[in-house]
Each structure stands twice: as C-alpha cells, then as structure tokens.
A and B are shown apart, each in its own frame.
Chain A
Amino acid sequence: MVFNSYIFILFFGVVLLLHNLPFPWKVKKINLLLASYLFYAAWNPPFILLLWLSTVVDYFVGKALYNQSNIHKKRLLLVISLCGNLGMLCFFKYGAFLQDNFVQLVNTLGINFHPAKPNIILPAGISFYTFTTLCYTIDMYRKESKPVGSLLDFSLFVTFFPHLVAGPIVRPPQLVPQFESPHRATKQQLLEGLFLLSLGLFMKVTLADSMLAASANTVYGTPTPLTALDAWMGTLAFAGQIFLDFAGYSTCAIGAALCLGFVLPLNFRWPYGAISFSDFWRRWHITLSAWLRDYLYIPLGGNRKGRPRTYMNLMVTMLLGGLWHGANWTFVAWGALHGLYLWVEKFFTDKKKTTPTLVIPTAAGDGIPESGPVMAKPATRPKPFMGGLPYVLLTFLLVNITWVFFRASTFSGAGHLLSSMFGFVQNGRPLLSTLAMIKISVIILALIILHWRLRDMRLVDIIYRLPWWALGSLWACMLILLILSQESTSTFIYFQF
C-alpha cells in the first residue's frame, strides 16, 4: 500500500479511529500490529512469513544474546542472527546478481556454465527491516540497550507501518519506549502530522511525479547522444525527483506516525544545502548513514586506527552503502564516487588542521574542526564566504555526477550521459521542451535556495514561525496543487531498495 493512494487514506482513517477509541493500550497495540501486517500484505501476502520469521528469530536471539555470559555462545548467537538476516537479504536481493557475476567469472575462465536465471521477487522493504532487526541483535550483543519486554512490542517495533517499507530506519531505543506506555496524539501532534502528510504527498505527487519524473525518464531512457543542456537538465530533474520522492516518503511516514502519537527520527535535513560531502551524509538519509556509521564504519575501526585505515574504512562503508541500494555495480560505483569525494575532503580537512591559523567550515557549519588537535583557536568565528553558498553549489554539482550512476541502469548508459553532460559528443540531440526545462530550473533553484537558507533550522520550527494565515494558505495551496496534479498512484523509488 502506498501513501499516495485512496486506499491508504481509507486504511489510515480506520487506523486513526481505532487508535482513538477507548480500548486498553494492549488492544490498541494489537490493532496497530494487525494494521501494519495488513499494510505489508497489501504488496505480496506470502512475504509476511519472512517478516514473521525475522521478527521471531531476532526477538528470541536478542534476548538470549543479552542474557548469555559465555562469550563463545554469545558469538554463536550473533552469527545465527547475522546469517539469518543477511542470508535472507542476500538471497532475495542479491541472488540473481551474485549468480550473474559468478557465471561471468567462470565464463571468463573458459568454463561453459549457463544456469537458468533465478526468478526471485524482491520482498518490499526487506533492506529496511533487515537493518532494523540487525541493529537490535547487535545492540543486545553489545548490551547497549535492554531487551524488548514483549514479543508484541518487538513485533510492532519491526513492523510499525509508517517506517516498515522505506524507513526511516529506527533503532529500538527510539521507538520501543513509546510502545511501553499509552500514546495518543495531542491536538498539536495531530495537526503537525496531517501537515507533514500533506507536505510529503505534495513533494512526491506534485513535484517529483508530476513535474520532474517525465523529464528524468525521457533523458535517461534515450540511447542517442544529447546536448549538454538536455543531459544536465535530465540529471538535475533526477536530483530533484529522488530527493522529493524519498524525503516525501519519509515526511509522510513521520507525519502518519505523529498522527498516532509516535515520533520517528528525522531522515532528511536540507541535504542540498550541504557544504561538504560529510555534511551531505549528515543530511541525506540520516538514519541509514547513522546506521552505517555505528554498525559498520566504527566496528571497522573508524578513524581510530591511523590515516590509511580511516580512508579504507570510509571507502568500504560507502561501497557497501552503495550496494545496499541495489544489486548492480552502478550502485557500487555511486558509493565509490561518494567515497572518493569523502577522501578528497578528508585529505584537505586533515591538511588544514595542521595549519595553525586556518579554520575551515565543518559539516556542522560552525567553523570548528570535528576532531584532532586544534592548533590555535581563532578569537572570533569567521563567517563562511557568502554563507557557504560556493561550497553548497560545488557539493550539489558533484553530487549530481554521482546521481548519473544511481539512475542509469548500466555503465554504458551512465557513460553516454556523462559524455553528453561534458560535451564529449557531437551532434547531440535536443530533447526536452522549454516548458520541461523551466519546471526543472524553477524547482531545483527553489530547492537549493531553501536548503541553503534553512540548513540550520528544523522544519517544524519554521512552520510555527509562520503566521496562521500564511501557514493556512501554504497548506491550502499544497492540497489544491495535489488535487490538480491528478497523478496515478506510482510507487516510491526507494521501495525497490
């Protein structure tokens, strides 16, 4: 079930009603759990079994991990959980990919091996709920939090429908305590939630689907060389589409949860206002990058084992982050490019840290280096030149190049488009209409300005700063444009991951 459908509105109306009836808290939680299973089964009912399996195994293994004092048994339990979760993910998401690569490898070695292609359907949201359950068992292994008290609470934590299919990826301490005591939205939470739901749908339906998707699809679906203008416009359209689609989903998820009285973690914070790549990853898909940092980068040694190891850990994290998005080498290349950017950024950051009087703006934008020896503190904090706008534009420009690998399904497709973007083709074909280019330019310009100007603010704070008439008008405009868009119920891009 997708948020942008009438059936979801009906479903959500019934869930809201049941959640606000005077039932005991346990009954309300059972209602939410059943509703979440229904929400998930609406894609492909048999895959509910996988969700159950993952939930039950990790609940009991997590408990055993926490209580087990024998380190060998503890490790064995962790291996069981990792194999179960990652094995399922590998089979369903990477099975065909692994087989293809294996066949290519053995064929290259001269062995004639051509097995039948596996017909594996990817269960919706498997990458997201696998990471949710994995972090629980790893936390139990490390004793970083206490085991969840009941199977009902754990099942609801894993399955809670707003975050189940495409995040935000939640950690047990963020959500489980909210299930322990009765939660019902206050009037303010309900209004905020409904506003966020409207905003998320507006981002997805009106801006991503209605204004940008067609141009991105046309440019990326054209095999012939294009003019540099068309190639750039197509990539900018995709940059806007992927943000508005995914951030739109996260905003809907947060809004839907808030309407029920639950708070989910933020997943996006004005990412196109980032002034560096490390800053970008603190703003884009925050819950995934935090997950990768805490459960991959830091366990690999993070930045504690010397400079070469830090660089390697960064790259490994970005490569696996890329692969998490999809079973295709183009996603790995996307991750590699981000890893490379982070290397270059780290190289210059480290270099400047050794220069006594120079202080560069960090990811937090506060002009103070994040770690390492501070040679000299400036008397006053220097303001970044033009509010950091040149950094914002440079980061955005380079991020766009990575999107080519993310969107193109093959390296040759990515190569064609990059060649067109950088003018390496002759007789490129003009493709996009003037109107399409105006739409892309207006939306992208508005996104960059908004993200740059609001980069240190919270969306909810901005909403409350607005006078009632401005907020009301904005909300009404979004709803009118949403209705005027008349888009069909297309799925969100991140569902395929």
Chain B
Amino acid sequence: MYKSPATATVFIGSSRIKYDLDIDTWQKLTGREAIQLAMEGNSPVAILEDLAADQRFAGKLVIDVTELVFFSADDAPVRHEQKEYLDYYWRRTPAQRASFILDHALESQLVFLDKEGLSLNAELDKLTIPNRPNVFAPPIFPLDFSRVTFDRQDKMSPRFLADTNLQHQVQNIWVFLQTAGAAIASQHPSNPTPAIMQQVAVAVAKIKSRGGEIVFVRTPGSGPMAAGEDKGFPRAKFWEPLLAITQCKGIHFADDPATAHFVCPEWSHLSPSDAVLYTRALIGHLPESFVH
C-alpha cells in the first residue's frame, strides 16, 4: 500500500473488482503490482476514509462502486466488517504481526481448509435445518463460486462455470439479498446517499491534496441483477453525482462497447476468462499515471 505510486496501484471495493480484475493480466500489461484491498459484500467507504486519514498514503487508488453496498448507511451490516478489520490492523500486537508473517509463509506452502466452505461450522450449515419464521439465515454460497488466490483474486471454478444449477443458486442469493437490501433501505429513517457522497468527497479531497490520484470504476453486471441495479440506482442519481462531487474520473462498463455486453454467469461477476478481457479494457481507460 505504501509502495511507490510508480510501482503499485491500490484497489478497494466489493467482490466485483476481486473477480473482475485479473491480477496476472494487470501485472503483465502494466508491470505494476495490484494491491487488492476489496472485500466481498462490503462497502469500501471505511477503507477509503482510513486511507485518507493515513498521511503515508499518496498513491494511485481505484475504487469499485457496487451501488447496493457503496451507498449503504453507516450503520448497515455491510459497513461493519471493514471497520473491524481496520481496527484489527491498527491495533495489531507484535505477536499478531509475527503471526501474520508465519501464517503467510505457511499458507503459501500448505493446503488449508477454506473457513467459509469447509470448516466444521460450514459443514454443519449445509444440513439446512429449517428455521422458525422470521429468523434471518445468511445465504450459503456454493464452494465452487469462489476460489481465492494468494494475491486475493476471486475466481469461479471450472465446475461452477459448467454447472447452471450452481449458477442458479447464486442468482437466487442475489435476488434474496437485493430484496432484503431494499427492505432494510426502506426502513431507514433518512436517505443516507447525500451523507455518503459528502463522506467520500472529503476523503477523496484529502488523498488528492497529498498528490494521490483516484479513479472510480463501475464493473459489469448482467441479466436481472443489472436491470434491478439500473432501476434502484440510476446513473443520473448516483454515479454521475459521485463523479461530480469528487471531481474524479469514472470508468463505467456500459460506456465501452468492449465491456458493455459481458454476460456474468450468475449476473454479477465475470468469469476468469472475461476478467482477462475486462482487465485489458480497464487498463486502456485508466489514466497513464495508473498503468505506466
């Protein structure tokens, strides 16, 4: 993160940039390192504010905007996890720092069980025991939907790409989450969007004042997911005002014919092969200072 802006680019956002940015392609074409700090199912605003408050950061930053989570209220669950992680990061003890180095070395050489899919709790969750009415049960993603590489890129497995049943499982989860998200948003006493725009603008201004550069990116979606997002978060009310208030460049997938027609297997994320094509196109749109 603190590497020279000439050698590294930092990415923050939600799961889409983790699937859609192919890090190998990025590094091969730009010769720069991709520091992937995005987190699945999380708004990047907390990390953006943390980078803005960190005087040592003055690099190149790409912010992935997935409106459903990006424009969620400060007290929404999608804002909690990043705050917890940041809190942990800044309060790490020497033992935790040493543990990280050791774990990093071990995890690069040995096979570990994926906590989300293969741990004891994950296996028990697969029993799908019916719950009482009105009990919220977090959705269980198929294991093949996400294989995480060592540099934090998410990839769908070949099995997932071949199995439409698995893809339908994830599509159903998006429908469920979109509905739940809309229900939560409708219960919120006030519209959080203006406050979030302001929060983001202040953070962006701080980074820019130190010489940092920022680009917003809207990655592809397709099918009913994209239609729902267009309806719930129209560009004119969210994307365009965001770029206007922050005075930043924005790269929207729909503006480029090369990226406008990708079909996401589960409506929301690109397949590994399309991620390569998307990354090439993204590099073409980013400012020179980000890629050379």
Contact surface of A with B, Cβ cutoff 8 Å: 1-2, 5-7, 10, 41-45, 206, 210-211, 429-435, 438-439, 481, 483-487, 489
Contact = CB atoms under 8 A, between A and B. Distances in A.
A10 B102 CA distance: 9
B113 interface: yes
Contact of B121 (A5, A210, A483, A489): A210
Interface string B88-103: 0000011110110011
Contacts of A485: 119-121
Interface stretch (B127-135, B224-232, B264-272, B284-292): B127-135
Contact of B94 (A42, A484, A486): A42
Given A43-B93, A430-B133, A430-B135, A5 B112 contact: no
13 contacts: A1-B95, A5-B95, A6-B102, A7-B98, A44-B94, A45-B94, A432-B135, A433-B137, A434-B129, A483-B113, A486-B112, A487-B115, A487-B119
A433 B135 contact: yes
A371 to B, nearest CB: 47
B120 A42 contact: no
Contacts of B112: 486
A44 B93 CA distance: 6
Given A7-B98, A481-B120, 4 more contacts: A210-B121, A430-B134, A431-B135, A486-B114
B125 interface: yes
Contacts of B93: 42-44
A486 B106 contact: no
B132 A430 contact: yes
Nearest to A41: B94
B183 interface: no
B113 A6 contact: no
Interface in B114-151: 114-115, 118-121, 123-125, 127, 129-135, 137
Contacts of B124: 435, 439
B104 to A, nearest CB: 11
Given A210-B120, A210-B121, A5 B94 contact: no
Contacts of B119: 210, 484-487
A483 B112 CA distance: 9
A336 to B, nearest CB: 33
B183 to A, nearest CB: 15
A438 B129 contact: yes
A439 B118 CA distance: 18
B120 A484 contact: yes
A223 B50 CA distance: 28
A43 B95 contact: yes
B247 to A, nearest CB: 36
A429 B134 CA distance: 8
A396 B102 CA distance: 42
- Which 9 pairs, one residue from A and one from B, show the smallest C-beta to C-beta distance? A42-B95, A486-B119, A1-B95, A486-B115, A484-B120, A7-B99, A434-B129, A430-B132, A43-B93
Nearest to A42: B95
Contacts of B132: 430, 434
B120 A7 contact: no
A38 B130 CA distance: 49
Contacts of B115: 486-487
B172 to A, nearest CB: 19
A435 B124 CA distance: 8
Given A2-B95, A45-B94, A210-B120, A7 B102 contact: yes
B120 A206 contact: yes
Nearest to B113: A486
B135 to A, nearest CB: 5
A5 B99 contact: yes
A480 to B, nearest CB: 9
Nearest to B133: A430
Contacts of A6: 99, 102-103, 106
B199 to A, nearest CB: 24
Nearest to B128: A435
A435 B122 CA distance: 11
A487 to B, nearest CB: 8
Q: Tell me which of B95, B98, B123 has the highest count of chain A C-beta atoms within 10 A of its own C-beta.
A: B95
A7 B98 CA distance: 7
Given A7-B99, A430-B134, A435 B125 contact: yes
Nearest to A43: B93
Contacts of B106: 6
Given A7-B102, A210-B121, A486-B119, A435 B95 contact: no
A439 B120 CA distance: 12
B90 to A, nearest CB: 13
Interface string B228-270: 0000000000000000000000000000000000000000000
Interface string B186-210: 0000000000000000000000000
Q: Tell me which of B102, B112, B133 has the highest count of chain A C-beta atoms within 10 A of its own C-beta.
A: B102
Contacts of B135: 430-434
Contacts of B102: 6-7, 10
Contacts of B131: 433-434
B29 to A, nearest CB: 35
B214 to A, nearest CB: 31
B96 to A, nearest CB: 7
A487 B113 CA distance: 11
